[in-house]
A and B are shown apart, each in its own frame.
Chain A
Amino acid sequence: MASEATATVGGASAPPLAAPKRGRLRLSTSESGLKAAHFNNTGFAVALLLPQLLVLLFFFFIPSYKALSLAFVQVDPFGGRTIFVGLDNFTRLIASPEYRESAWITLWLTLAQNVITIGLALLFAFATDFVSRGRGIYKLVILVPYAIAPVISGVLWAFLFNPAVGPLAQMLHSFGVPWDPNRRPFDAQLLIVVASVWKHICYDYIFLVAALLAVPNSLLEASRLDGARPIRRFFTISLPLAAPTAFFLIVMNFTYGLFETFGIVDAITKGGPAGATNTLVYKVYQDGFVQLNLGSSAAQSVILMIVAILFTILQFRGIERKVNYQV
């Protein structure tokens, strides 16, 4: 899923990257380039598409079909007995205060994670140009978390902030902070947000650095001549030009927050305490794979799928219009 989306991004952020080299004169030729990409030989095109379609078939369409078919039944885990229950699984979920609580928690955690990640990544990306010594180390420190598996980083966070043995927790205690993510829901939520931001910041950072580098130097120089200071230049020139990338990152951060913080939650809090970090996707896993309540789990994943689809449509429709892709 992620790799596919990354590829699309390449497409989305390509124009601003390519723009400075080509200039306006070449715009008309890009049309013919599009036509050259058209295959006359349908068989060849199909052959090229086939692997991708097969991947989609096995990892998207078949699982989606399975989820849909399970969402309307009660089934024993072994697949022996199946009772059709209509919308029972859904109405039960919507009536359940725990499920609604989980939805709110997911929304807030994802929003917080999204805003903080992109904010910090922008700051770091902006600052990259001003780091004159050890820029390599600066980038390395930001990029390293991406190479660490979520579960391993989760275990490390859980240990560092464990109130009984964690060194960072001890430090907080010595400042008089009653830190205890095992008992205080807010502490647990904070820990999840911090861990998922730390894990994801480099992703946003790479894209934003690239987007800022692609800002035409001529524009920056012109504004410098006009007397604009770095921060002014950033907000009036760099940021608007990096907007398409930022928009794409917002979508990606939501996907990350909704679906991929799963490993971190599992390693740090297991959804606790008292369900305070039980996000929707973690609940799907818990109910389906640990509790073997397949009907409810399938219904939850269908809801998640609908939410994800709606979300993406809304974002593209609402925000894309205001985002300027042209230089």
Chain B
Amino acid sequence: MKAIGMFLLASLVALLLRSTVLAALAARGVVIDVLVLATVTWSLRQRDAWGATFGFVLGLAADLDASHWLGRHALALTLLGYGVGRLSNTLVRDSPLTQLVLIALATALHQIWVTAFDATAGVQQLPWFAGRVLLATVTTAPIGVLLLLLTRLLRRRGGYGNASGTSAAG
């Protein structure tokens, strides 16, 4: 029950941030991919099945918020949630470096997928395409790691544990 409550709360916060503060920031060129951030965080903590479910629900809500391409975010975030969840079984999930790489990779993949729907013509769009993906990746990954560190400090408990599944946070 607590997990479901957290699930709903995390989705709500991510979507709310995306439609208010982050929308204004994104228009100024600072794209923080909060959908990926939330999905990766959730998947690191709750593993693959819950990660995929969270990604699907969050993605579907984001797709409904958009005017077109229903299923675009849902597909990408489902696969990312599942992938990160599976990887979390074999990684030291508390390591900031691991988190940085995971968030950066996930953001880059998500942005490539999403941006591909906006691309309408040939190779002349490649610099714009690469710039947008890179910008989102370099802003989202460090912010994500900082947020995870901050959350851990505030909770005054261990983080996600490691590959053996000995999670101090449960």
Q: Do A and B bind each other?
A: no
B residues lining the A interface (CB < 8 Å): none
